[in-house]
Structure 1
Amino acid sequence: MRIGSPPPNAPPSLVVPGTETNAPLPIAEVTAVAIEHLDDRSRVTYRLSGTGTVTWKVEYVSEAIRGGDNHVVDVNGSSILQIDIMGVTALQHFPPIETSGGTISSAETAVVSGEIVQSFVGTAAGRPAFQATGTESPGQIVVDVFYAPA
């Protein structure tokens, strides 16, 4: 249920289908993080399972500061995208992903709380265009970082 009008910059959301649970607030889980390089972009995919409403926010930040403990995260790259995925948990730690040959140079993911997974993505160039989308079947948050037009 939503009360009132959503703020103009409300983060997008999706409902992750899955098995029903008896939990009072069903929550989805981030089960994997992967990077792939495509013809015109590099892509970070956060795979989800479980049930629940998931929202996310993606923005460039000047420094990778982890929520909850304010720890500065060392992220390899020219610019840093911060991805906050809300309404999720992660039952495992995702090791840093280092890569070359695309628009993404690294990804560092940390669980911030029981309902937020935060990730920092280092880009190979300074602040390239990006797009974040969600899919319900399968449940995924996909962040595409584009090559600059030639």
Structure 2
Amino acid sequence: MRRTARVVTTALVGMALLAACNSGGGESPAPEPAGGPTSSPAEQTTAPAPSPTATTDGGDDSDDGATAVPADETAEPTDGADYSTEPQNDPGWPSSGGELLPTGVRVGSHEGYERVVFDFEGTGTPGWRVEYVDEAVEEGRGDVIDVGGDFTLQVIATGVRYPEGEDENGRVAQGSYGTDGADLIEEVRVTGIFEGQNQAFIGLDEKAPFRAFTLTDPARLVVDVRTTDG
């Protein structure tokens, strides 16, 4: 009997200890998920992506609102155009070359020649004719224009359109353009658009040979005048 009582007492003590262990600290915490603790949605933060940085690739001659200087400013003609004092025109003259708006005139001095670039916006390629004239006579009006220099090249570009609205009207190339850095070219004068043609005059100190050709992307009409050191 004593042995049996001792066994029962031992069993009761073990059960009491087990019950105390299960009830003493409350519920056991849930196991942590693999990879560490997870914050609540309100606590999560996301770093904003960096804003793209705008870049501007303007040459020394570019400014706000001006036509950027093309990379191929010294490009050679692809149609074999050669220097001459005789009248020159494109093969399709006088056909229209597109729907273009004349927007700028630039003059540059290079080794062996001086270059005049007429800039256009729009679609197509301008048709053109360039020739020496005795007088600078404005198309439509018939007025004789005073252009600097002793000799005058007339430049006609076809395939142009009239400006639409005040914004475009303010960007159309017209009037007198300076020739800083040029020795042979004294002045470039653009009279404007008349019946789908854009008329301009290049005033020169001498009757030098010239060549004319077009460039694309964007559309440009180029007139090179050979200098005496060429």
TM-score normalized by the length of structure 2: 0.52
Q: How has the CA–CA distance of structure 1 residues 27 and 58 changed in structure 2, closer, same or farther, with 3 Å as cutoff?
A: same
Q: Structure 2 CA distance, aligned partners of 1:139 and 1:27?
A: 11
Q: How has the CA–CA distance of structure 1 residues 35 and 89 changed in structure 2, closer, same or farther, with 3 Å as cutoff?
A: farther
Match status 1:12 vs 2:90: yes
- Equivalent residue, structure 2, for 1:52: 124
Q: Are 1:99 and 1:106, in contact at CA under 8 Å, matched by a contact in 2? A: yes
- Equivalent residue, structure 2, for 1:4: none
Higher percent of residues as helix: 2
Higher percent of residues as strand: 1
Matches within 5 A, 1:1-150: 11-12=89-90, 27-89=99-161, 91=163, 92-99=172-179, 101-125=182-206, 127-149=207-229
Q: Structure 2 CA distance, aligned partners of 1:43 and 1:90?
A: 26
Q: How has the CA–CA distance of structure 1 residues 148 and 90 changed in structure 2, closer, same or farther, with 3 Å as cutoff?
A: farther
Instruction: Spell out, residue by residue over 1:37-93, the C-alpha distance to the aligned partner (whole angstroms, 9 max, x if none).
Output: 112111110011111352100000000001111011110001000000011136425
Task: Give the SS at the match of 2:228.
Answer: coil
User: 1:138: how far off?
Assistant: 2.3
Q: Structure 2 CA distance, aligned partners of 1:29 and 1:13?
A: 21
Sequence identity (%): 27
Q: Are 2:99 and 2:123, in contact at CA under 8 Å, matched by a contact in 1? A: yes
Q: Are 1:68 and 1:112, in contact at CA under 8 Å, matched by a contact in 2? A: no
The structure with the larger Rg is 2
Q: Structure 2 CA distance, aligned partners of 1:71 and 1:130?
A: 26
Q: Structure 1 CA distance, aligned partners of 2:98 and 2:113?
A: 34
Aligned length: 131
Instruction: Spell out, residue by residue over 1:8-62, the C-alpha distance to the aligned partner (whole angstroms, 9 max, x if none).
Output: x993169xxxxxxxxxx95111111111111211111001111135210000000
User: 1:112: how far off?
Assistant: 3.7
Q: Structure 1 CA distance, aligned partners of 2:216 and 2:98?
A: 15
Q: Structure 1 CA distance, aligned partners of 2:204 and 2:149?
A: 5
Unaligned runs of 5+ in 1: 1-8, 15-24
TM-score normalized by the length of structure 1: 0.77
Runs of 4 or more, structure 1, over 6 Å off, are: none
